[in-house]
Structure 1
């Protein structure tokens, strides 16, 4: 009886260690390596990189449209654009989500929330407040690009 209890505890400890490793890797660290330009290189497939950059392009295109609408005083359009982008959820596979470090995921969710907040502000009718919030939102974009880059798995850059 004593041997089977020790064996069960050993199995439990091994499973807990494996779970801790998976949580650390897939939730916090992701599939990353240091980069030669002081950014975090997130290792992804070519298709995943294309998808993520497409999502970022949507952010930028929406910001450009919001800027134009704000300049025209069309805060209803600003509210619609910002609210729509805030509610949008990228279609990412679980394997891709596991490759992204927690800082990237957190910043992405925060950026969507800032778009939602911007929509609420625009509905309030204050164009100056919209510009201030848009500037804050863009800080998320610039900090993300300053801290991260996407490198295709298996390339020379990924093996450095």
Structure 2
């Protein structure tokens, strides 16, 4: 009887580890023909991710505008809109489909926007803000170079 319990426990553990790997680390991806990883998302999920990316782009434009206008409050406000608080809108079902490295890039990008906002408020140094923006944009480049989004049937 005990041998059966251990066998069932071992099988359950393997199943749980397999699911954890699939939903936490690997996500729902395939190798794309262009060398990037293709995120396999439903239409609404794709729209959410692309909407977040457009919000990043708008924030970058507003940050640049604030720097040119010497308006660091505008810089901070724009950056904060896409900081960590913005990622709370991402549903858990979508998070399970995203590979770990993509999630790390996303979390780091939100965090960098928050840091940029804080630095702009505290220091008001345009050069420092530009340097932070250059570093932040490396995340955008890495993401677009490594991933694409394809829609799977809804």
Q: For residues 114 and 27 of structure 1, what CA distance do their matches in structure 2 show?
A: 23
- Aligned equivalents of 1:65 and 1:76: distance in 2? 11
Match of 2:93 in 1: 95
* 1:153 aligned residue: 152
Question: Quick one: distance in 1 between partners of 2:136 and 2:31?
Answer: 26
Q: Which has the larger radius of gyration?
A: 1
Separation (CA, whole Å) in 1 of partners of 2:87 and 2:79: 13
In structure 2, how many angstroms separate the alpha carbons of the residues matched to 1:131 and 1:138? 10
Aligned Cα root-mean-square deviation (Å): 1.3
Q: CA deviation at 1:92?
A: 2.2
Q: Which residue of the other structure, out of 105, 108, 111, is the alignment partner of 1:107?
A: 105
- 1:158 corresponds to which residue? none
* Maintained 8 Å contact 1:40/1:149: yes
Alignment counterpart, residue 38 of structure 2, candidates 36, 41, 49: 41
Q: How far 1:154 moved relative to its partner? A: 4.0
Question: What does residue 8 of structure 1 align with?
Answer: 5
Structure 1 unpaired stretches of 5+: 156-160
Equivalent in 64, 67, 76 of residue 70 of structure 1:
67
Q: Is the 8 A contact 1:48 1:96 kept in 2?
A: yes
Q: Which segments of structure 1 move beyond 2 Å, counting only runs of 4 or more?
A: none
Query: TM-score normalised to the size of structure 2?
Result: 0.94
* Contact 1:43–1:152 (CA under 8 A) maintained in structure 2: yes
- SS of equivalent to 2:35: coil
Match of 1:24 among 21, 24, 28: 21
CA distance in 1, matches of 2:125, 2:89: 33
Following superposition, the deviation at residue 90 of structure 1 comes to 4.3
Gaps of 5+ in 2: none
Residue aligning to 1:119: 117
- Residues 49-80 of structure 1: per-residue CA shift (max 9 Å, x gap): 11110011001111111111111110111112
Query: Counterparts of 2:148 and 2:88 in 1: how far apart (Å)?
Result: 18
Number of residues paired by the alignment? Answer: 152
